[in-house]
Amino acid sequence: MKRAKDYSGAKTVYFNPEINLCPHCNAPLKRSHIAWQKNIFTLKGIFHVTSYAYRCPNKACTQPQTVYRSMESEMLNLKYYQFSLDVIAKVGHLRFNEHATIRQTRRTLKKHFKLQISRSEVDLLCQVYLALIKANRQHDTAFLEKLRNNGGIVLSIDGLQPEKGNETLWILRDVLTGEVLLAKNLSCADTQSIVSLLKEIKALNVPVKGVISDGQKSIRLAVAQEFPGVPHQLCHFHFLRNIAKPVSDMDRALKVDLKKKVRGIRTVEKKATLRNDEKAKVILNYCKAIRVALSDDGVYPLKPGGLRLYRRLRKIQQSIQKNNKPKPDKDLERLLKVLCIVDELKTRYRRISRLYKLIFEASNILGQRDVKAEKVQADMQAYIDRLGNLRFRRIDEKAAVLNVLKFTASHWEGLFFHYDHVEIPRTNNDLEVYNRSLKAAHRKTTGRASCQGYIVRYGAYVALLDSSLCQRETLVGLRLVSYGAFRLCYGEIRSFRFRLSFKRSLSKDLEGFLRDQERCWAKITV
């Protein structure tokens, strides 16, 4: 049962307007009525606050109906809310800066500030905090001034899709300042949807000096439509990942086949653990080395795990052979029998290694520094011409090379702007890292590996948080937000939560939902 709040210790406070004279006719203002009166929970205690409204009594005044209130009282809390803005700022700071859970936040407020607050109220105030942050960003002139001082924006675009069937969180960020300009959920990533995001960036009235994104066609068309003539660099990392995909798949298959066979070292390990001689120690060390090699999955596209695993296993095999030749041992021979997969897959290794050299060559060409775009373009053209003249017997090798040619042709125009415009980065990795940090913050708070629901619900708001601001600086910004702007942003959060709850209820009881629709339809008179 919900416990009623105790207001017995509330201190009475009265607020009058900060001005005494009418700004229109200079006549003394007169108290008209009580603007509002309520109990407010603050970090300093409970207050029974009365705010008086004043009007000009001069009948000849041009604005006799204007109501004057205390600005201090209006900035104390939000309309219809019992908790003050300093409480809301504290809740937001604990939740999103210190990564406290809802339960921990409530415990801190009760212990240090003697606040009467429930867990549901803490959750609600977290949503209020995010809505205030977004509303403040929309009217933050200092933020726009910071962008203009750099001479414009270098726009970074990326979409974060939590899972299939859910909306994608699109984040648009300025490379020069690191500021998130816009974060929005979109159910569709077509050209017109991306155009709608870019129009909001144009509405900032800050020049866009360049754009960096992956090679998604809808993004490229949208940028060309909204920012014609602006250099649009395509991310080299995404490009290399695309051209390397068939070879990376071959490398992964090689890694799987190697791991299947090499896991047979378990029997050798068990036998060696039962002995305490020097031979057993060496054998166990070889097994540990193999285990370490198996644990390295690599990082695609430029650190292929299959090739790295093969090379390490081959070196281990050669070392065991060197030891076994002068002093043969059954356990060493068993390890060599397990590692014979290295010899069996030698042809595949050479084929994948040969194809990967082509990927590394493209990476080296694009990775040149302090050169002009013409030089890199000429080197890439020579590389493409040479690839076109290569002949392969195997279909998979031919398909891998054709894939390189296909993606290079489709990305060609956007690969070289970086070299003549240094402020535009080669890759979009900074934004990718930022996106991962949003997930990491939630995992740090909750301890859960999955953060899909969190990104869908709150990603568009959490992305706007500025971790460099202290709680007091954040509170100053929150107090400048009008109630109308807050309600608009808060309504977006609540409506989205309603859509999610509808989706969950539909998943749980589809039959019941359909029966309700049938009953409703039956009641309709034709």
pLDDT tens-digit readout, 312-326: 999 999 999 998 888
Domain 141-235+429-465 sits in CATH at 3.30.420.10
- pLDDT confidence of residue 105: 95
Q: What are phi and psi of 447, to 5 degrees?
A: 80, 5
Q: How confident is the model at residue 280 (pLDDT cuts 50, 70, 90)?
A: confident
Is residue 264 over pLDDT 60?
A: yes
- pLDDT confidence of residue 2: 66
- Span 157-184, average pLDDT: 85
Q: State percent of the chain over pLDDT 70.
A: 97
What's the per-residue H, E or C state across 116-157?
CCCHHHHHHHHHHHHHHHHHHHHCCHHHHHHHHHCCCEEEEE
Q: How confident is the model at residue 225 (pLDDT cuts 50, 70, 90)?
A: very high
Is residue 46 over pLDDT 60?
A: yes
- pLDDT confidence of residue 127: 93
Is residue 322 exposed (0-12), middle (13-18) or buried (19+ Cβ within 10 Å)?
Answer: exposed
Q: What are phi and psi of 50, to 5 degrees?
A: -120, 125
**pLDDT tens, residue by residue, 349-367:** 999 999 999 999 999 999 9
**pLDDT tens, residue by residue, 30-42:** 999 999 999 999 9
Question: Is the Cβ–Cβ distance between 224 and 232 less than 8 Å?
Answer: yes
CA atoms of 321 and 336, how far apart (whole Å): 7
132: closest CA among 167, 90, 101, 169?
A: 90
**pLDDT tens, residue by residue, 385-436:** 999 998 888 899 999 999 999 999 999 999 999 999 999 999 999 988 888 8
Would the pTM of this model clear 0.95, i.e. be above it?
A: no
Q: How confident is the model at residue 163 (pLDDT cuts 50, 70, 90)?
A: low
Q: What are phi and psi of 169, to 5 degrees?
A: -85, 115
> Does residue 449 or residue 524 have the better pLDDT?
524
CA atoms of 447 and 450, how far apart (whole Å): 9
DSSP states along 263-308: GGGHHHHHHHHT--SHHHHHHHHHHHHHHHHHH--EETTTEEHHHH
- Span 139-146, average pLDDT: 84
Q: How confident is the model at residue 162 (pLDDT cuts 50, 70, 90)?
A: low
CA atoms of 200 and 207, how far apart (whole Å): 13
Q: Where are the domains of the chain?
A: 1-76, 141-235+429-465, 236-427
Is residue 453 over pLDDT 80?
A: no
